[in-house]
Amino acid sequence: MAILAMPLSVAAPKLTLGKSEFAGKSIKSATPSKCHTRQNVRFAIKAAGYDEELVKTTKTIASPGRGILAIDESNATCGLRLSSIGLENNETNRQAYRELLLETPGLGEYISGAILFEETLYQSTTKGKKMVDVCSEQGIIPGIKVDKGLVSLPGSNNESWCQGLDGLHSRTAAYYKQGARFAKWRTVVSVPNGPSDLAIKEAAWGLARYAAICQDNGLVPIVEPEVLLDGDHGIERTAEVAEKVWSTVFYYLAENNLLFEGILLKPSMVTPGNGSKVRATPEEVAKYTLTMLKRTVPPAVPGIMFLSGGQSEVEATLNLNAMNQSLNPWHVSFSYARALQNSVLKAWKGQPENIDAAQKALLVRAKANSLAQLGKYSAEGEAEEAKKGMFVKGYTY
Q: H or E segment at 27?
A: none
Query: Dihedral sign, CA of 128, 130, 134, 139?
Result: negative
Annotation says 224 is catalytic: yes
The catalytic residue among 145, 244, 266, 287 is 266
CA 125 to CA 127: how far, in whole Å?
5
For the chain, counts of helices (H) and of strands (E): 12, 12
CA 290 to CA 205: how far, in whole Å?
24
DSSP 124: B
CA 150 to CA 172: how far, in whole Å?
19
The catalytic residue among 99, 103, 159, 224 is 224
DSSP 191: S
CA 179 to CA 199: how far, in whole Å?
33
- DSSP track, 207-251: HHHHHHHHHHTTPEEEEEEEE---SS--HHHHHHHHHHHHHHHHH
Residue of 148, 129, 136, 124 lying closest to 72 (CA atoms): 148
Catalytic residue numbers, as ranges: 224, 266
